[in-house]
Amino acid sequence: MKNNFLIDRRTCLKGIGASLALPLLETMGWAEPERDNPFKPPVRIGFMYMPHGVIMDQFWPTSPETYLSEPPPALESLRPVLDQCLLMKGISGVPIAPFNGAPHALELSTWLTAVLPDADRRNEINIAISADQIAANYVGGLTSLPSLELATMPQTHKENQEGLNEGYYSHCSFRSPTQAVPAEINPRTVLNRLFGKSDSPGKFTRADPLDRQMLDLVIGGAKDLRRKLPRDDQHKLDEYLDSVRCVERRIAAIETRQKEAALEAAGVSVSKRNDSDSPPIEIKIPEGDKRSEYMQVMCDLNVLAFQTDTTRVSTYIGSTPNGVSYPELGFTNEHHSQTHHNHESEKVRKVAAITEFNISQFAYMIKKMHSLREADGTLLDNCIMMWGSGLEDGNKHARENLPFIIAGRGGGSIHTGRFLADTRGNQGDLLTTLLACAGIPLDRPIGIATKEIAAMRNPL
Amino acid sequence: MTVPKTSICGALAITLLALPCLAQPAEDAEDAQFAALRADAKKSFEEGVAPFVKTYCAHCHGQNRQKGGINFQPALNNPGNADSAKRWKQALAAVKTHDMPPEDQEKQPTDEERQKFPDWIAKIKYLSAKDPGSFVIRRLTKTEYANTLHDLLGVDPAIARDLPDEVIGAGYLNTLSPLQSELYLAIANEALDRVLAPEDAPPTRLQERLFGNPPEPGADPRAAARHVATGLARTAYRRPPSAAELDVLMDVFDLARENKLSYGASLRLMLKAVLVSPQFLFITPADDATSDDGIVPLDDHQLASRLSYLLWSTMPDPELAALADRGTLHEPEILKAQVNRLLEDDRSRALFDGFGAQWLGLENLEDKTFDPVRFPQMTPEIRSAMIDEARLFFGSIVRENRNVVTFVDGDYTFLNETLATLYGMEESVTGPEMRRVKLQNANRGGILAMPGILATTSFPGRTSPVKRGVWVLEQVLGEHVPPPPPNVPALEKQDRKTIENLTLRQRTELHLTDAVCANCHRILDPIGFGLENFDAIGRWREQDDAGGTIDAAGELPGGKHFTSPAELKAIIAGRAGDLARNLTQKLLSYTLCRQLEGYDEIVVDQLMKTMAGDGYRMRTLITEIVASYPFTHRRIQEQTAPSPHEK
């Protein structure tokens, strides 16, 4: 992990494809055993989004000193785990000129890219690889799923702001500058595909080694076809072939797990889990359509995916900027309509309530991670979870002090329990620092970043 | 999109050299005429556009300064290429609305120059080389994939329901997330489980059709398998497979055999490989085409697929496939006859689902939020009836080959009882089924007065005259409305004291007091207010939300007065040429899966000429687009990207 370079996922997967016969999880991923701690768990990194900004004076702590004892109303739900969290005021977003008429198309799409779309190709997806996908490129090859993308509303909203591609409105993960990664919105589907649990027996997740070899032949056979295509089209084909490679890997990983399970059953210990680790959490798919339950089951799935090391990178779009309404809070107004509150107290109250609601879902996830034992600490100790919004204030569309909450110590790299009241940095700096803390080497800073934010780090 | 960068002179020289090579006299004449137009365009560019831009624009938008990220230098160097076309469009809109040059600039164009500018810009298209554009390959959409599986294997199209809905932009589909990537394999497994018999059971009829009889004892199973592979690939790839492609399928067969699978089970693995192959999931060219000028006609198989996916959203049926095999599909008479055959079939509703709904802006209606207190009527039933109304209306114009102006002035629609309540016609229209209804009230009828469209162009709680105005201008008349300048507060945020006693109309008219806003709003707002008699879900009303009487009167540029939706519709319908041109451009862009550029404008001109001579009829439009040069040809680009998959 010393080299400073980005592994292209293709290269990575190709390499892995060649060594599929080896049980991967044995050879890569978990850090070398230390004397007292046979397996040091890997760092996982997750992002959770809320659109339209916050009510600033209800979000920021009054001072670093009172941060833990008298948290602001928006953070109340996090009170028991505030010592596991880090707040920084003074992180600015990407200036959005010349797209001034597109604050909402850009709040989400610049959130993990820290850069604007290409103005000359605005009708296409043309932005930059996002921070989560950079992480997935590096550590994604070590788990059966490179990354997990979740959302709680469809990403098909059509709104053409400043002539920008509609995809910008509801996506934040970009596998490459031209590929937006869609998120899964159905918890049952996530459960089925993550863990092969299914209501209809025989469906999905068969680990058939013949399928794996068959896919390999299909990929090899696409070579001729590829040669005939113009360059733009080759990229589209490559994208599909990459996804086939990904399936190959999934099958291989499942085979490995099956072998491990067989060995365990025969009394040979191969697991990297410690006996004291908490057992995998239970997932209950809610029956009704309460928003809190929906958001929480997605949190649970994220926790379970991290706990079982099924993936180490997750992105969870709590809602996209076209917004939802929150009947549970006693009003049916749609989120966005209230954020243009013009300081009317009723609307301000509603925006504050929506913000608290969203943060309390994040708090739910953080508390759960904090309750799970892993190695000599908790699951949260080995995670970096970022909650935030792409606007500071939905009333003015300001982006000077973007609200972010960092939770988890990232395996000891992040100094939590603090409020840094005067952080001078931008969104790119923050993402660059987080990836560095997660041990992801970068060949260049992310988006508009100019530096790492050293104050976030644990002094060594 | 990469376009060869040739200077104007270079492009001209190439065309002139190419002229004598063309064999047909008709094409000769056409090309000669084109060359004349081009010479004229070159002159007007050099004497009109270039000096105008250099004098009034280049100071801020040139090589030295690029305000707003806009630099005209590349467009001045290559006026006819695709990227430049976007620039010219921007320039035209800005000059037309007097947005540019800014008022505080000393040098201002004369009125005469401003008037001539649009004419000069309009000629730039003749500077583009004759180019069909490349054939944009794309993965089948969710709908196309589901329909194709159905046609191939007889499975319920719902088998693909877990695939993500796609976001489409300029021919691109979104990608699959890691979680979703195994879906194609999972769906293939599921489909084969459903349609193939288990190992020891007698084969299903489909199995017999696809796999034939097992080889006689002693016969070569590989020879038999190769024969099966040839048939499977021809159907599923929608073209004859290459020898190399068959070899891959045979490798899969051999893999299965090496693993001690039976002959039947080995064929099953082979079929599974077909279903996850890019050749199945993408529409791909059949052979290595070559040509001196880099442009080739589509081969008949590709043409069959393009046509079938356009009009039916599924693979070519046996008749189309047979014409492709015979190599006659591209003959204009045969091609046009096939368009008509496909449009007669019910499957042609795919054209509405894929294009019509997008054009009219109805794809989000099912999920759009409405204030549940104010509009409890917006149930899922009524929303789906609204969409059905638009679909059936669209379909009737296609099937009856009506004048496209019918979209605006049609005097009939399709209703069921639920939807009829919005029309106040629930007494005469009863029952759940949609049926054709003649409309007596001239304010009703056509897309401007259709509830689904009136609802999508409203806010959750009230109408939006501005949104409706923009919709009519952009979607119906094809005009480009620039986005509002930054830092303009929306209506909600206007100073409360000044607006307290104003109606929505008076508040909106505040736009006209600001010169920047007035440029666009003097056209937008009258149209929107002309439709104010329709509430946010399309019901007729005489009074607005505040109880004031609705004033639907207005005037459009050119002194055209109207006092009711009926009169407004008549004015819009009077612009048949604009209406037809807009629809032609949108449909052509949809069929080609890309934005229109350079030479396409000339194709649109030709289509418009044919349309005008035929009363602007819808089916004629579709037929002519299918027979057009960019639909039937493609540019082959040089291929340079190194393959990451070659070992």
- pLDDT of A32 reads 43
pLDDT higher than threshold 70 for residue A428: yes
Rounded mean pLDDT, A412-416: 94
- pLDDT of A22 reads 28
What span, in angstroms and rounded, lies between the C-alpha atoms of B221 and B225?
6
Residue B94: list chain A partners with CB under 8 A.
Answer: none
Same domain, B414 and B508: yes
Evaluate whether residue B612 is within a structural domain. Answer: no
Nearest-CB residue to A217 (from B136, B255, B485): B255
In this predicted model, what pLDDT tens digit does every residue of B449-503 receive, in sequence order?
999 999 999 988 889 999 999 999 999 998 877 766 655 555 545 555 565 667 7
Residue A218: list chain B partners with CB under 8 A.
Answer: 248, 252, 273, 276-278
Same domain, B96 and B216: no
What span, in angstroms and rounded, lies between the C-alpha atoms of B569 and B407?
10
Nearest-CB residue to B252 (from A101, A183, A217): A217
pLDDT higher than threshold 90 for residue A204: no
Same domain, B435 and B556: yes
pLDDT higher than threshold 60 for residue B334: yes
End-of-domain residue from the set B262, B281, B300: B281
Tell me if residue A19 falls in helix, strand or coil. Answer: coil
Residue carrying the six token digits 């440029």: B519
| pTM over the 0.90 mark | no
Which pLDDT band holds residue B172 (cuts at 50, 70, 90)? very low
N- to C-terminal Cα distance for chain B? 29
Rounded mean pLDDT, A394-418: 91
Percent of chain B past pLDDT 70, that is, above it, reads 88
Q: Which amino acid is at A297?
A: V
The residue in chain A having the minimum alpha-carbon distance to the alpha carbon of residue B190 is: A203
Residue B641: list chain A partners with CB under 8 A.
Answer: 231, 234-235
What span, in angstroms and rounded, lies between the C-alpha atoms of A332 and B378?
15
- pLDDT of A38 reads 54
Q: Among B87, B181, B245, pick the best mutation site for testing chain A contact (most A Cβ within 10 A).
A: B181
Residue B251: list chain A partners with CB under 8 A.
Answer: 217, 221
Q: Which domains does chain A have, with CATH numbers?
A: 9-193+283-456 (3.40.720.10)
- pLDDT of B644 reads 46
Smallest Cα–Cα separation from B485: which of B99, B117, B10?
A: B99
Which pLDDT band holds residue B16 (cuts at 50, 70, 90)? very low
Residue burial B89-117, b: 16+ Cβ < 10 Å; e: rest? ebbbbbbbbbbbbeeeeeeebeeebeebb
The residue in chain A having the minimum alpha-carbon distance to the alpha carbon of residue B172 is: A124
Smallest Cα–Cα separation from B5: which of B73, B81, B71?
A: B81
The residue in chain A having the minimum alpha-carbon distance to the alpha carbon of residue B1 is: A232
Rounded mean pLDDT, B403-432: 96
- pLDDT of B366 reads 86
Burial of A134: CB neighbours in 10 Å, binned 0-12, 13-18, 19+: buried
Evaluate whether residue B627 is within a structural domain. Answer: no
Same domain, B154 and B268: yes
Q: Which residue has the higher pLDDT, B506 or A335?
A: A335
Flag if A220 and B645 touch (Cβ within 8 Å): yes
- pLDDT of B377 reads 94
B34 reaches A (C-beta below 8 A) = no
Flag if B180 and A342 touch (Cβ within 8 Å): no
Tell me the residue range of the domain where B70 lies.
8-127
Residue carrying the six token digits 């054939």: B135
Q: Residue B9, Cβ neighbours under 10 Å: how many?
A: 9
Flag if B278 and A158 touch (Cβ within 8 Å): no
Which pLDDT band holds residue A421 (cuts at 50, 70, 90)? very high
Cβ–Cβ under 8 Å, residues A230 and B639: yes
- pLDDT of A273 reads 66
- pLDDT of B26 reads 59
Same domain, B428 and B499: yes
- pLDDT of A167 reads 85
What span, in angstroms and rounded, lies between the C-alpha atoms of A412 and A434?
12
Cβ–Cβ under 8 Å, residues B253 and B229: yes
- 3-state SS record for B288-306: CCCCCCCEEECCHHHHHHH
Same domain, B58 and B20: yes
Evaluate whether residue B182 is within a structural domain. Answer: yes
Same domain, B394 and B494: yes
Q: Among A185, A233, A238, A397, pick the best mutation site for testing chain B contact (most B Cβ within 10 A).
A: A233
Q: Which residue has the higher pLDDT, A30 or A324?
A: A324
Same domain, B157 and B121: no
The per-residue pLDDT of chain A, averaged, comes to 83
Flag if B178 and A246 touch (Cβ within 8 Å): yes
Evaluate whether residue B526 is within a structural domain. Answer: yes
Flag if A163 and B483 touch (Cβ within 8 Å): yes
Distances in whole angstroms, Cα of residue A306 to Cα of each of A314, A453, B46 = 9, 26, 64
What span, in angstroms and rounded, lies between the C-alpha atoms of B119 and B115?
8
End-of-domain residue from the set B248, B281, B314: B281
What span, in angstroms and rounded, lies between the C-alpha atoms of B129 and B87?
18
Rounded mean pLDDT, A412-437: 94
In this predicted model, what pLDDT tens digit does every residue of B310-324 receive, in sequence order?
999 999 999 999 999
B279 reaches A (C-beta below 8 A) = yes
Evaluate whether residue B399 is within a structural domain. Answer: yes
pLDDT higher than threshold 60 for residue A33: no
- pLDDT of B358 reads 86
- pLDDT of B295 reads 86
Distances in whole angstroms, Cα of residue B287 to Cα of each of A224, A338, B326, B453, B636 = 11, 57, 16, 45, 12
What span, in angstroms and rounded, lies between the C-alpha atoms of A386 and B562?
56
Flag if A202 and B193 touch (Cβ within 8 Å): yes
Whether the ω angle into residue B101 lies within 30 degrees of 0, i.e. cis, is yes
Which helix (H) or strand (E) segment is B350 a member of?
helix B349-351
Helix, strand, coil shares of chain A, percent, nearest 5, are: 40, 10, 45
Distance from B483 to chain A by nearest Cα, in Å?
A: 6
pLDDT higher than threshold 60 for residue A28: no
What span, in angstroms and rounded, lies between the C-alpha atoms of B339 and B399?
12
Sign of CA dihedral B590, B591, B594, B595: negative
In this predicted model, what pLDDT tens digit does every residue of B533-575 receive, in sequence order?
999 999 999 988 888 889 899 988 778 899 999 999 999 999 9
Q: Residue B171, Cβ neighbours under 10 Å: how many?
A: 18
In this predicted model, what pLDDT tens digit does every residue of B108-128 receive, in sequence order?
888 888 888 888 888 888 888
Cβ–Cβ under 8 Å, residues A445 and A428: yes
Q: Among B276, B645, B647, pick the best mutation site for testing chain A contact (most A Cβ within 10 A).
A: B645
Q: Which amino acid is at B580?
A: A
The residue in chain A having the minimum alpha-carbon distance to the alpha carbon of residue B641 is: A231
Which pLDDT band holds residue A276 (cuts at 50, 70, 90)? confident
Same domain, B98 and B150: no
Q: Which residue has the higher pLDDT, B639 or B280?
A: B280
B71 reaches A (C-beta below 8 A) = no
What strands, in cross-sheet order, belong to the sheet with A418-420?
A148-151, A313-317, A44-49, A383-388, A404-407, A85-88, A418-420
Which pLDDT band holds residue B416 (cuts at 50, 70, 90)? very high
Distance from A29 to chain B by nearest Cα, in Å?
A: 19
Cβ–Cβ under 8 Å, residues B94 and B482: yes
In this predicted model, what pLDDT tens digit does every residue of B216-249 receive, in sequence order?
888 899 999 999 999 999 999 999 999 999 999 9
B577 reaches A (C-beta below 8 A) = no
Cα–chain-centroid distance for residue A177?
A: 18
Evaluate whether residue B637 is within a structural domain. Answer: no
End-of-domain residue from the set B281, B300, B326: B281
B614 reaches A (C-beta below 8 A) = no
What span, in angstroms and rounded, lies between the C-alpha atoms of B278 and B237?
9
User: Domain total for chain B?
Assistant: 3
Same domain, B118 and B189: no
In this predicted model, what pLDDT tens digit does every residue of B380-414 receive, in sequence order?
999 999 999 999 999 999 999 999 999 999 999 99
Same domain, B107 and B167: no
Cβ–Cβ under 8 Å, residues A362 and A48: yes
Contacts for A264-272: CB closer than 8 Å, 24+ residues apart: A270/A26, A272/A25, A272/A30, A272/A39
Cβ–Cβ under 8 Å, residues B501 and B508: no
In this predicted model, what pLDDT tens digit does every residue of A339-379 receive, in sequence order?
888 888 999 999 999 999 999 999 999 999 999 999 889 99
Percent of chain A past pLDDT 70, that is, above it, reads 86
Which helix (H) or strand (E) segment is B112 a member of?
helix B111-123
Evaluate whether residue B170 is within a structural domain. Answer: yes
Residue burial B295-324, b: 16+ Cβ < 10 Å; e: rest? bbebbbbbbbbbbbbbbbbbbbbeebbebb
Q: Among A208, A223, A228, pick the best mutation site for testing chain B contact (most B Cβ within 10 A).
A: A228
Nearest-CB residue to B285 (from A218, A228, A311): A228
Same domain, B104 and B170: no
Residues 6+ away with beta carbon under 8 Å from B11: B80, B127, B129
Evaluate whether residue B599 is within a structural domain. Answer: no
In this predicted model, what pLDDT tens digit does every residue of A65-116 receive, in sequence order?
999 999 999 999 999 999 999 999 999 999 988 888 888 889 999 999 999 9
pLDDT higher than threshold 70 for residue A121: yes
- pLDDT of B174 reads 56
Nearest 5°: the CA angle A166, A172, A177 is 80
